[in-house]
């Protein structure tokens, strides 16, 4: 297997800044041991938090989207309108008003369309845009044995951004755009969707299937069937998720921020006690200030690949230098 980006970029930093490292898992390549001056620390990729300077408790808290949104909402931050519900997997936690049946009533009460997503999901897996009660029933059937808790939210209009914060300061941001299917002029819509499904399944997640509401919406909008063969080079969005991991694109990358954005970043870092965090935001089309955005979720283990590709200042190398130094300084402090 290929090492995840976190590990690759960390190894480059270790070699540049004279840290020793040992690959502890040669199969997945998701765990390495970094050492210096007699001290050793594990770093990981995938589900392992890549940043040892982060609080494990805080990373776990923000992984729960509903905990995060509830905290933010009570403190007056802008968050999506929505609620969370349990499937039969977590029936013991269901409680009054939190069952899948309650989700159906809730959806009717606030109206469609809605965004459905796992409460603790990543990579955009099982994120769907639902346009009708039929879509919701289909979604519930699909997740009932795979997702224990899910959210229903009103969709937002505007642009989605990722903001990376380190020690309370914004380091970079970029706009996240929808992943696109690009057709070859030879094969059908069905073939290209199945190829995308296969690629995602190899990565251990799935954002679509042939019967996803997103695919139905695509076919209706383009007046296609699954057997249609679009022209070569035709590109269309195919997923409700804008994640880079499912083929989403990035634009408007920047490393300079307004004073209001810096204050906003510091508030969030202090609130959740995280030294490295990613914040997913939705900003109105006519707005530029990220501090005015709606907060979708917070990530205590954010990906770094976009900045590694787009930065002109070697920002990821500098980030790892900071994380390594802070990690091993803590080792020296604890020793003394």
**Tens digits of residue pLDDT in 62-88:** 999 999 999 999 999 999 999 999 987
**Tens digits of residue pLDDT in 116-151:** 999 997 777 888 899 999 999 999 998 888 888 999
pLDDT band at 59 (very low <50, low <70, confident <90, very high): very high
Q: Which of these ranges, 17-31, 249-263, 268-282, 305-319, has the smallest mean pLDDT?
A: 17-31
Q: Judge whether 5 and 308 are in contact, CB under 8 Å.
A: yes
Whether 336 has a pLDDT exceeding 60, the answer reads no
Rounded mean pLDDT, 99-116: 94
- Give the model's pLDDT for residue 200: 74
The answer to whether residue 311 sits within a structural domain is no
pLDDT band at 3 (very low <50, low <70, confident <90, very high): confident
For the entire predicted model, the pTM comes to 0.88
Domain total of the chain: 4
Domain extent for 194: 183-238
Q: Which of these ranges, 145-154, 217-226, 250-259, has the smallest mean pLDDT?
A: 217-226
Helices 259-272 and 56-63: crossing angle in degrees, nearest 10, is 110
| 85 & 75 share domain | no
The answer to whether residue 310 sits within a structural domain is no
| 73 & 60 share domain | yes
The answer to whether residue 288 sits within a structural domain is yes
d(CA 314, CA 321): 11
Bridge partners (DSSP) listed for residue 149 = 86
The answer to whether residue 74 sits within a structural domain is yes
The answer to whether residue 188 sits within a structural domain is yes
**Tens digits of residue pLDDT in 192-223:** 888 888 877 776 666 777 878 878 888 888 99
**Coil vs helix vs strand at 245:** helix
d(CA 243, CA 114): 18
The answer to whether residue 75 sits within a structural domain is yes
The answer to whether residue 331 sits within a structural domain is yes
| 14 & 148 share domain | no
| 147 & 90 share domain | yes
Helices 65-74 and 259-272: crossing angle in degrees, nearest 10, is 120
Q: Give all strands (DSSP E) within the chain, no chain letters.
A: 20-23, 31-36, 39-44, 82-86, 114-118, 128-130, 149-153, 159-166, 169-177, 180-182, 235-237, 249-254, 276-283, 294-299
- Give the model's pLDDT for residue 197: 81
């Amino acid at each position: 297997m290929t090492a995840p980006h976190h590990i690759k970029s960390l190894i480059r930093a270790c070699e540049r800044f004279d840290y020793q490292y040992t690959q502890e898992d040669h199969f997945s390549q998701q765990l390495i041991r970094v050492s210096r001056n007699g001290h050793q620390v594990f770093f990981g990729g995938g589900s392992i938090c890549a940043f040892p300077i982060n609080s494990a408790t805080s990373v776990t808290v923000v992984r729960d989207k509903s905990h995060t949104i509830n905290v933010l909402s009570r403190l007056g931050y802008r968050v999506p309108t929505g609620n969370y519900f349990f499937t039969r997997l977590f029936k013991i936690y269901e409680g009054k008003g939190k069952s899948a049946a309650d989700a159906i009533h809730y959806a009717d009460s606030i109206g469609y369309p809605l965004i459905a997503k796992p409460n603790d999901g990543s990579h955009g897996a099982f994120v769907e845009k639902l346009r009708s009660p039929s879509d919701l029933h289909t979604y519930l059937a699909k997740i009932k044995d795979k997702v224990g808790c899910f959210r229903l939210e009103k969709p937002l209009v505007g642009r989605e951004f990722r903001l990376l914060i380190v020690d309370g300061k914004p380091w970079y941001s970029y706009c996240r755009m929808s992943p696109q299917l690009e057709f070859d002029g030879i094969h059908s819509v069905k073939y290209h969707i199945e190829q995308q499904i296969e690629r995602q399944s190899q990565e251990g997640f799935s954002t679509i299937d042939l019967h996803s509401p997103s695919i139905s919406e695509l076919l209706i909008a383009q007046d296609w069937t699954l057997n249609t063969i679009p022209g070569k080079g035709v590109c269309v969005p195919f997923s409700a998720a804008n994640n880079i991991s499912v083929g989403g694109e990035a634009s408007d990358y920047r490393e300079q921020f307004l004073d209001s954005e810096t204050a906003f970043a510091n508030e969030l870092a202090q609130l959740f006690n995280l030294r490295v965090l990613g914040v997913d935001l939705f900003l109105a089309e006519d707005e530029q200030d990220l501090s005015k955005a709606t907060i979708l979720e917070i990530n205590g283990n954010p990906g770094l690949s976009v900045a590694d590709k787009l930065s002109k200042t070697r920002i990821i190398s500098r980030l790892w230098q900071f994380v390594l130094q802070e990690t091993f300084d803590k080792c020296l402090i604890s020793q003394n």
